[in-house]
Amino acid sequence: MEPKKNPKADLTKNSALYFVMGLFAVMLLTYIAFEWKTYDKTNDYDISMNVEDMLDEEVPMTEQLKTPPPPPPPAAPEIIEVVEDEEEVEETIIESTETSQEEIVEIDDVEVEEVVEDVDVPFAVIEDVPIFPGCEGEKGKGAKAMRDCFNTMIQKHVVKNFRYPEISQEMGVQGKVYVNFVIQKDGSIGSVRMRGPDKNLEGEAARIIGKLPKMTPGKQRGRAVRVPFSLPITFKLQ
């Protein structure tokens, strides 16, 4: 006859569960042991508070000592010389350096040099007009006769030396060239300026004026002066 056991008294019934729970507990303790860390104790305070405490300390101010200036030196005592009434004091005589009216220095006459101004006198108002070569015979007939002779000789000179530029003829250029020049104080021609419709016509006018002969210079109050003169030269195609 087999013995019957109580099912509640069976110790091997939950042995597998107990084994697993024990194994888990051991592994958990092992993990905690490996991960356990320790730290040094530190002072728990705020550094900024210490900085403020340092700034609150009073810094002694250095006072600048002002050295008083040295006292001024004492004034030298004024020496007063006492002269007795009976003692004669020599009188100092100061001689004048001015010359007497009797001494008169004679000065030679000073020559005042007249400043000659280099001015231009227009042809229409000059007293003695420039004399074109060939007009010397009109000198005794008055200023008007001299001006008329001068203008006549200028016109003859232009007609004699006139030459129409070929390039201007081919281009059909015509017009009037105004020429200004100055009869210098030595009778030569200078300061020639032209203004016209074409450069070729202006060049021809300058060539004609450049052939003017040397003249007797014009005079104002008996002194040679420069005389400006204007002359129009007409270029017209036939």
Q: What is the pLDDT of residues 190-224, one digit of tens each?
A: 999 999 888 999 999 999 999 999 999 988 888 99
For residue 183, the model assigns a pLDDT of 92
For the stretch 25-38, pLDDT in tens is 888 888 888 887 76
Whole-number average pLDDT of the chain: 76
Tell me the average pLDDT across 115-131. Answer: 80
Question: Does a structural domain hold residue 209?
Answer: yes
Least confident of 13-27, 88-102, 147-161, 165-179: 88-102
Tell me the average pLDDT across 65-88. Answer: 62
Question: Does a structural domain hold residue 154?
Answer: yes
Task: Provide the residue range defining the domain that includes 173.
Answer: 136-235
Question: Does a structural domain hold residue 216?
Answer: yes
Question: Does a structural domain hold residue 161?
Answer: yes
Tell me the average pLDDT across 100-122. Answer: 61
Q: What is the pTM of this model?
A: 0.49
Identify the CATH number of the domain in which residue 199 sits.
3.30.1150
Using the CB atoms, write b or e for 47-85: b if 16+ within 10 Å: eeeeeeeeeeeeeeeeeeeeeeeeeeeeeeeeeeeeeee
Tell me the average pLDDT across 138-143. Answer: 80
Smallest CA-to-CA distance from 188 within 211, 221, 158 is with 211
Tell me the average pLDDT across 111-132. Answer: 76
Task: Kindly tell me the burial class for residue 129, based on how many C-beta atoms sit within 10 Å of its own C-beta (0-12, 13-18, 19 or more).
Answer: buried
Task: Kindly tell me the burial class for residue 187, based on how many C-beta atoms sit within 10 Å of its own C-beta (0-12, 13-18, 19 or more).
Answer: middle
Specify the number of domains making up the chain: 1
For residue 105, the model assigns a pLDDT of 52
Higher pLDDT, 137 or 214: 214
Q: Predicted confidence band at 160 (pLDDT cuts at 50, 70, 90)? A: very high
Q: Predicted confidence band at 73 (pLDDT cuts at 50, 70, 90)? A: confident
Q: With both helix axes pointing from N to C terminus, report the angle between 143-161 and 199-210 in degrees, rounded to the nearest 10.
A: 120
Least confident of 17-26, 106-115, 153-162, 173-182: 106-115
Question: Does a structural domain hold residue 141?
Answer: yes
Question: Does a structural domain hold residue 123?
Answer: no
56 pLDDT exceeds 90?
no
Q: What is the dihedral of CA 36, 37, 41, 46, to 10 degrees?
A: -120
Higher pLDDT, 160 or 68: 160
Percentage of the chain exceeding pLDDT 90: 25
Alpha carbon distances (Å) from 88 to 10, 79, 91, 94: 169, 20, 9, 19
CA atoms of 178 and 195, how far apart (whole Å): 5
For residue 122, the model assigns a pLDDT of 87
Smallest CA-to-CA distance from 216 within 153, 159, 162 is with 153
SS3 219: strand
For the stretch 142-157, pLDDT in tens is 888 889 999 999 999 9
Q: Which residues contact 196 (CB under 8 A, 6 or more apart)?
A: 175, 176, 177, 178, 202, 205, 235
Which is it for the CA torsion 22, 24, 25, 27, positive or negative?
positive
SS3 63: coil
Q: Per the structure block, which two tokens stand in for 74? A: 């004492």
SS3 209: helix
Tell me the average pLDDT across 11-20. Answer: 76
For residue 69, the model assigns a pLDDT of 72
Question: Does a structural domain hold residue 110?
Answer: no
Question: Does a structural domain hold residue 193?
Answer: yes
